[in-house]
């Protein structure tokens, strides 16, 4: 069993890879993705296990290629997906500062309630942002918006960094899209808490621009 461990604020965050479980100070907390599935429903209830496994393996492969490229300058010239990522990076002039870094989300009483790992921290035009890489056939913009805004809250609470832009990178062998996501100030301002829980209301779609480049 492999366990990743980080120190964030005065808390110890652990991630058990085999069960996709997060613990803060030894107590299990919900992941950001689990929370989104609970609030918006599962996307994959009618997808066969073999199809789902292939999609997961494909997504992992693309994420790892991009991470290896950014962290260790490993450039797989045969990967169309990596080529598409490099195209977007040049076209939209962003720089990757970090990959796959952990966050903790706290409630209004400073109790850890959620955790996750952010795909990328970026800088663009002198501003600090977050990006999430998506490899599915269709981009679920509602989930992406909620996910990135929760990650921005986690970065603010975990590292005291203000995020000013959010981006979805939709990348497949035949897709390269740069999707700007609006900041939800209700989440970042802490207005989402009600009776120590996130508001159980439908999440509003918060999107501005989507660019398709082929």
Q: Per-residue pLDDT tens for 73-96?
A: 999 999 999 999 999 999 999 999
Q: Number of structural domains, the chain?
A: 1
pTM: 0.89
The reply to whether 36 falls in a domain is no
Instruction: Render pLDDT for 129-144 as a digit per residue (tens, 0 to 9).
Output: 999 999 999 999 999 9
179 CB contacts (<8 Å, ≥6 apart)?
139, 141, 144, 167, 168, 169, 170, 207, 209, 210, 211
Residue 122: inside a domain: yes
CA–CA dist 197, 110 (Å, integer): 12
Q: Are 4 and 101 in contact (CB under 8 A)?
A: no
Which CATH number covers residue 134?
Answer: 3.90.320
Whether residue 165 is contained in a domain is answered as yes
Expressed as residue numbers, the domain containing 173 is: 44-212
Residue at 190 is within a domain: yes
């Amino acid at each position: 069993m492999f366990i990743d461990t980080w120190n964030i604020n005065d808390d110890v965050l652990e991630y058990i890879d085999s069960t996709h479980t997060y613990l803060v100070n030894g107590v299990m907390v919900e992941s950001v993705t689990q929370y989104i599935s609970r609030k918006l429903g599962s996307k994959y209830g009618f997808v066969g296990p073999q199809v789902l496994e292939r999609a997961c393996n494909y997504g992992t492969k693309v994420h790892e290629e991009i991470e290896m490229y950014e962290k260790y300058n490993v450039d797989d010239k045969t990967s169309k997906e990596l080529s598409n990522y490099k195209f977007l990076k040049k076209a939209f002039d962003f720089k990757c500062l970090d990959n796959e870094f952990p966050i903790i989300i706290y409630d209004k009483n400073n109790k850890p309630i959620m955790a996750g790992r952010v795909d990328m921290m970026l800088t663009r035009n002198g501003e600090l942002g977050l990006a999430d890489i998506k490899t599915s056939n269709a981009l679920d913009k509602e989930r992406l918006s909620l996910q990135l805004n929760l990650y921005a809250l986690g970065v603010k609470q975990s590292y005291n960094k203000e995020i000013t832009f959010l981006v979805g990178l939709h990348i497949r062998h035949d897709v390269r899209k740069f999707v700007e996501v609006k900041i939800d100030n209700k989440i970042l301002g802490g207005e989402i808490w009600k009776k120590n829980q996130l508001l159980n209301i439908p999440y509003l779609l918060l999107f501005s621009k989507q660019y398709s480049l082929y």
